[in-house]
Amino acid sequence: MKVAVYGTLRAKGRGREVLIPGTIRDLGWYPGVTLDGNTSPGVLVEVVDINPSILPRLDQYEGYSESSPEHSLYIRRTLEIEGEPVFIYEYNGDISSRTPVPSGDWLEHTGEPTGANSHMMET
């Protein structure tokens, strides 16, 4: 199972980096992504292989409820990246007024070498 991480769960070097269409915005100490098809600059994600057993932990962290997605903070979506199905968490609200991350790279934007909660990706 694969997941694309772009913010506080991202740890450089854990997976392969890919630029996907979308917009990443600064929501304070964490980002939000909208999969709006924007390719300039797009969103830098890291595609990571995960143990399926950690998916419920990631859902909880992202505020996603499979039984009530309309009330979730983020929605877990499936994208095809390089021919493979990959989960990604898309922000479930209007963030159009929030500041875009100019480079599309959250870690570059914050100056952090790794996401603050990247340890949650470990089994």
Residue 16 belongs to domain spanning: 2-107
Residue 119 backbone dihedrals phi, psi, to 5 degrees = -60, -20
Instruction: Give the pLDDT confidence of 69-107 residue by residue, as tens digits.
Output: 999 999 999 999 999 999 999 999 999 999 999 999 999
12 part of a folded domain? yes
The average confidence (pLDDT) of the chain is 95
Model pLDDT for residues 16-68, shown as the tens digit of each residue = 999 999 999 999 999 999 999 999 999 999 999 999 999 999 999 999 999 99
Token pair for 19 = 């630029």
Q: Which CATH number does the domain housing residue 43 bear?
A: 3.10.490.10
pTM of the model as a whole: 0.95
User: 3-class DSSP state for residue 107?
Assistant: helix
pLDDT value, residue 122 = 82
C-alpha 53/C-alpha 18 separation (Å) is: 24
Q: Domains in the chain: how many in total?
A: 1
pLDDT at 123 over 80: no
In a domain, 116, yes or no: no
Q: Do 34 and 12 touch, CB atoms closer than 8 A? A: no
Percent of the chain surpassing pLDDT 90:
93
Contact 116, 8 (CB under 8 A): yes
- 22-37 in b/e form (b: 16+ CB < 10 A) is bbbbbeeebbbbbbee
Residue 118, domain member (yes or no): no
